[in-house]
Amino acid sequence: MTPTRETFGNIPHGSVILFYCLTLLTLAVFAYGVWRRFKLWRQGVPIAVRELLAGNLRQIWGKLEPGLQRLLAEGLGQARVRGRGLPSVAHICLFAGFMMLFLGTTLLEIDHLASGISHALKFHQGTYYVIYEFTLDVFGLLFLAGCVLFLWRRIRRPASVGHRGTDWYVIISFLAIGITGYLVEGLRIVWQHPTGIAAHCSPVGLLVSGWFSGLTESSARSTHLAVWWVHAALVFGFIASIPYTRLLHTIAGPLNLFFARPELGRMAPVTMEEVEKTERIGVSAINHFNQQQLLSLDACMECGRCEEACPAFATDKPLSPKRVVQDLKELMTWNLKPQTSGRTESQAATSLRARALHGETIQIETLWSCTTCTACVRVCPVRIDPLTLITDLRRNRVGEGALSGTAATALRRMQSSGNPWGFPAAERANWSEDIGAPTVKENPSFELLYWVGCAGSYDRRAQRVARAVVKLLKHAGVNFAILGQEEKCTGESARRLGDEFLFQELASANIATLAKYNVRRILTHCPHCLNSLLKDYAQFGGHYTVVHHTEFLNQLLAEGRLKVAGGAPPSEAMTYHDPCYLARVNGIHQAPRDVLKTASTAANSSATDYREMPRNREKTFCCGAGGGRMWMEEEPQKRVCALRAKEALDTGTKTVAVSCPFCLTMLTDGIAAQSDSAQVKDVAEILAERLSI
Ligand code: SF4
Ligand code: SF4
């Protein structure tokens, strides 16, 4: 006999009709909930959805492909969910089990409709049936395993994870759906008496059927019908609740994965025309965010990954990226509610007043606490971008003159003097006088422009790094030049602080200078300058090949143009701190390690004892200086650099190698407060010390 089973076996005709009526009702409740959220998302600044479908097929595919790839890899493949131990395993089990059960139920319904048209169209039989039943039986176990793990996690209530009353409903109804599914299967086997392979292709169902072996066929049929209804009711409840509970992320998450345009380190420009048109800069009300940003708020499942990665949160500052997203979501839900149904006018007014955006929903200290390290963006499984929410809010606060103190002073000095310290432009190249770094005027045929940056030009400690770089370039015979007095601050920290127009002013001046000298290749030892010259300046017509000094030095070593030899190699333990804007934002983390390795091992075989910090490469932990925090006062007990310095010292290291002037300053402070013997050096300094003359 061909193995198969009826889709609605043992379900009376009346029950089947009621089932379909309830299905329609459930879908209506589901659709209403999604429509309500959709209306909220639509209140934002429009995104170019229609443009995605404009052009010929090839062009359309080109625009859709990245989003579809993210959906495949990160949605179906759960690529960004992995790597967090038990929570990752729980989510993957639940997701895989759910998707397979959902697919199985859909196929079952298709088979039911097809065989209703013609029996010849029935495909739920034979080998297909055996594979289908076995696969669903196994994935049902995965689903249950995921439920149990999530239940355990809910009971443990880790602090970084959000907890709501409805979470209990979700997890318990999931468990009940899984369990009643197996009960229905077991009871069906009892009354259907399948034989041969048909009896054994559902091993779990067969096991469960043993519990009911004492039932007569008629009792088995009536119990089966009752449990089938309980199972169906649970499934209806689950589907209807999706848009009203944390399960909303199952809709908004994939949509956000598709629409997100996340490229770490790139910010959207603002034009004067936009400001004149909207009479505002940045975001001063929730509907000033764009539609994708509002959608992203609903994609958040409060997993807490961003909070765990956030250096501001780790040092007790009033910032949690998860909280920012959730507070904005709450504000969207309240303020953008189309009508105040069920509330009196005064209640509505109170709610609206209580949910003003700046100062009440989001505190100004929250905004200034962010180092723009991008850790939260990198770890979010559904590509929510709390950083851009923050910088959009910052833009408005700066535009309204709400930034004061040392950071505001730094911005004023950038504008008046072209550097955050306010030193005269005429002194910008003083550091290079005795080392002979040629300016573009002195060496007009240069092949490489060395972008020194403000720290390298004016900060005494960072000047030593610039001198080391020049020493290495000269040693390797590189034909380079510096801009000297004509170089200005890139404006990177002005932009990340929220002063877009100051950034654009500085960028325009620098782009004009670079054009004057026909600069195409730039070398810099500052990851912030690198990112700005590479990604920010390209938005304003400045297109350059920008290389970090660690990459360039590594290349010179590989080509044999730099040689390390002589003297005793450094014998003490060393670690390397990855700067956020180098390792995470621009993916450069191997070159500095290679340079350090070469610098340590070339002299003889006794290599330096190199030790890796737990958080390294893309997972690096911020030094605390990015996003303009370099120019802000920080309470000593809340310093990010102290935390990172401790992590470095915990490796037992005596030398902390860095490759960013901000990190150099911050970690020097952090280390000095905790150790008398450890030191912080730039990779270029370490290599220059080992140079073969
Ligand atoms: S923003 Fe992303 S990482 Fe943060 S809690 Fe929400 S889903 Fe998790
Ligand atoms: S960018 Fe960094 S400091 Fe800012 S919220 Fe995200 S993790 Fe926190």
For the segment 635-670, what is each residue's pLDDT rounded down to a tens digit?
878 899 999 999 999 999 999 999 999 999 999 999
The tokens for 322 are 């998860």
Q: Is the pLDDT of residue 604 over 60?
A: no
**Residue ranges of the alpha helices (H) in 526-616?**
527-531, 549-558, 590-601
The tokens for 74 are 């990160």
Q: Is the pLDDT of residue 351 over 60?
A: no
Average pLDDT score over the chain: 93
Q: Are 457 and 465 in contact (CB under 8 A)?
A: no
Cβ neighbours for 357, distance < 8 A, ≥ 6 positions apart: 283, 284, 285, 286, 331, 393
Q: With pLDDT > 70 as the criterion, what percentage of the chain qualifies?
A: 95
The pair phi, psi for residue 581, each rounded to 5°, is: -75, -10
Please report the pLDDT score of residue 5 as a whole number: 87
For residue 161, give the 3-state DSSP assignment: coil
The tokens for 530 are 């690198």
The fold adopted by the segment(s) 286-399 is Fumarate Reductase Iron-sulfur Protein; Chain B, domain 2 (1.10.1060)
Q: From atom 2 of ligand 1, which residue's Cα is the shortest distance away?
A: 380
620 lines ligand 2 (CB under 6 A): no
Among the ranges given (33-47, 209-223, 413-427, 556-570), the one the predictor scored with the smallest mean pLDDT: 556-570
Measured over the CA atoms of residue 410, residue 412, residue 415 and residue 416, the dihedral's sign is negative
Angle of the 661-672 helix axis to the 640-649 helix axis, nearest 10: 70
User: 272 C-alpha to center of ligand 1: Å?
Assistant: 33
Dist. CA 16–CA 130, nearest whole Å: 25
309 lines ligand 1 (CB under 6 A): no
Q: From atom 7 of ligand 1, which residue's Cα is the shortest distance away?
A: 300
623 lines ligand 2 (CB under 6 A): no
Q: Is the pLDDT of residue 161 over 90?
A: no
User: 508 C-alpha to center of ligand 2: Å?
Assistant: 28
Dist. CA 258–CA 71, nearest whole Å: 6
Ligand 2 pocket test target in 160, 296, 363, 373 with most atoms within 8 Å of CB: 373
pTM of the model: 0.93
- The predicted-structure confidence for 229-285, as pLDDT tens digits, reads as follows 999 999 999 999 999 999 999 999 999 999 997 789 999 999 999 999 999 999 999
The tokens for 364 are 């100004």
CATH, range 13-39+86-257: 1.20.950.20
304 lines ligand 1 (CB under 6 A): yes
Q: Establish whether domains 13-39+86-257 and 286-399 are of one fold.
A: no
DSSP per-residue codes, 634-677? --GGG-HHHHHHHHHHTTT-SEEEES-HHHHHHHHHHHHTT-SS
375 lines ligand 1 (CB under 6 A): no
The pair phi, psi for residue 518, each rounded to 5°, is: 50, 45
Indicate the residue type of 573: A
Q: Are 490 and 508 in contact (CB under 8 A)?
A: no
Dist. CA 154–CA 162, nearest whole Å: 10
The pair phi, psi for residue 438, each rounded to 5°, is: -70, 145
Q: From atom 4 of ligand 2, which residue's Cα is the shortest distance away?
A: 370
Indicate the residue type of 246: R
Q: Are 647 and 621 in contact (CB under 8 A)?
A: yes
The closest ligand to the CA of 391 turns out to be 2
375 lines ligand 2 (CB under 6 A): yes
The closest ligand to the CA of 388 turns out to be 2
Q: Is the pLDDT of residue 350 over 60?
A: no
303 lines ligand 1 (CB under 6 A): yes
For residue 657, give the 3-state DSSP assignment: strand
Please report the pLDDT score of residue 346 as a whole number: 52
Q: Is the pLDDT of residue 198 over 80?
A: yes
302 lines ligand 1 (CB under 6 A): yes
**Residue ranges of the alpha helices (H) in 242-369?**
249-259, 272-278, 291-299, 305-309, 311-314, 321-335, 345-354, 364-368
Residue 277: C-alpha distances to residues 46, 271, 272, 507 (Å): 15, 10, 8, 23
The tokens for 331 are 């504000």
387 lines ligand 2 (CB under 6 A): yes
Q: Is the pLDDT of residue 342 over 80?
A: no
Q: Is the pLDDT of residue 570 over 80?
A: no
Q: With pLDDT > 90 as the criterion, what percentage of the chain qualifies?
A: 85
270 lines ligand 1 (CB under 6 A): no
306 lines ligand 1 (CB under 6 A): yes
Angle of the 165-192 helix axis to the 203-211 helix axis, nearest 10: 80
Burial of 154 (0-12, 13-18, 19+ CB in 10 A): middle
According to DSSP, the β-strands at 655-658 and 574-576 are parallel
Q: From atom 8 of ligand 2, which residue's Cα is the shortest distance away?
A: 310
The closest ligand to the CA of 306 turns out to be 1
| Secondary structure in 3-state letters for 285-301 | CHHHCEHHHHHHHHHCC
Q: Is the pLDDT of residue 160 over 90?
A: no
Ligand 2 pocket test target in 308, 316, 374, 528 with most atoms within 8 Å of CB: 374
The pair phi, psi for residue 680, each rounded to 5°, is: -120, 130
Q: Which of 665, 538, 661, 527 is nearest to 585 (CA)?
A: 527
370 lines ligand 1 (CB under 6 A): no
User: 288 C-alpha to center of ligand 2: Å?
Assistant: 21
User: 297 C-alpha to center of ligand 1: Å?
Assistant: 9
Q: Is the pLDDT of residue 102 over 70?
A: yes
- Which residue bears the tokens 């109804």? 173
Which ligand 1 atom lies nearest to the CA of residue 305?
3
Give residue limits of the domains in the chain: 13-39+86-257, 55-84, 286-399, 407-689
264 lines ligand 2 (CB under 6 A): no
Q: Is the pLDDT of residue 143 over 80?
A: yes
257 lines ligand 1 (CB under 6 A): no
The closest ligand to the CA of 627 turns out to be 2
491 lines ligand 2 (CB under 6 A): no
Q: Are 496 and 372 in contact (CB under 8 A)?
A: yes
